[in-house]
A = this chain, B = another copy of it.
Amino acid sequence: MAFSIDKYHFNSESIIENLPDAELRLLKGAMKEIEAKKNKILFREGTFPKGVYILKKGKVKIYKTNKEGKQAVIYIFRKGEIFGYRPLLCNEAHPASGAALEDCRISFIDKKNFSLLLDQCPVLVRKLLVNLSHEFSVLVNQVMIFSQQPVRERVALTLRILNEKFRGDSKIIFPVTVNLSREDIAHYAGTSVETLVRVLRQFKDDEIIRTQGRKIIILKPKALEKIAEFY
């Protein structure tokens, strides 16, 4: 089976894009524009959701903190992605926290409006269902990787995913510059900072990546796919 980034990437942008006019109007009407500075926490694990977020600019990380204070990054959202609606749908607390990795611009739909939207927009409901199904597959893949793959493979996959997250809108795929702390990357790959750095060094020696200060420039995303490929 060939590598496909879709197995590890949600791409929820299409939800809003292909909505019928009537539903789109309702959706836009319910939106409120908000700003979030870098490091701003949008919601905390264990709290009940206040609404839905659609990211217009910037990046947001979803993470869990264990009792020793160690973080596990579950997912990173890029521009265009919609999030925070899941726990709202099933009336549960957020299973994880969300924080801005960069200065963000966000369209926010509050709980009440979102609930009304769901009643009035059957196409939206179906689209959310489809999206959630795909997101689920992504998580299944992630569980498998964490439970089975060694750190080199995990880091390779993480970088390949970040390549997707940090590439611009243009079709020119590389080289992509990833601007994220070693700590966040390590926690995304499920390893320690030191171990991450050692793997990065290997990749540098193999000329798969290059670094510029703390930025990582991905030279050969295909090579990363090859390392991460387990099927």
Q: Which residues of A contact B (CB under 8 A)?
A: 1, 7, 46, 64, 66-67, 70, 72, 74, 86-92, 95-96, 118, 122, 125-126, 128-137, 139-144, 146-149, 190, 230-231
Contacts and interface: CB of A to CB of B under 8 A. Distances in A.
A140 to B, nearest CB: 5
A136 B66 contact: no
A92 B7 CA distance: 10
Contact of A46 (B1, B86, B135, B144): B1
For the residues of A in contact with B, the DSSP-based class is helix
17 contacts: A7-B95, A64-B140, A64-B144, A66-B149, A67-B231, A72-B144, A74-B140, A86-B136, A86-B137, A88-B133, A90-B133, A90-B134, A90-B137, A132-B132, A132-B133, A132-B136, A135-B136
Oligomer: number of copies: 2
A99 to B, nearest CB: 16
Given A90-B130, A92-B133, A125-B126, 5 more contacts: A89-B133, A90-B133, A95-B137, A95-B140, A96-B140
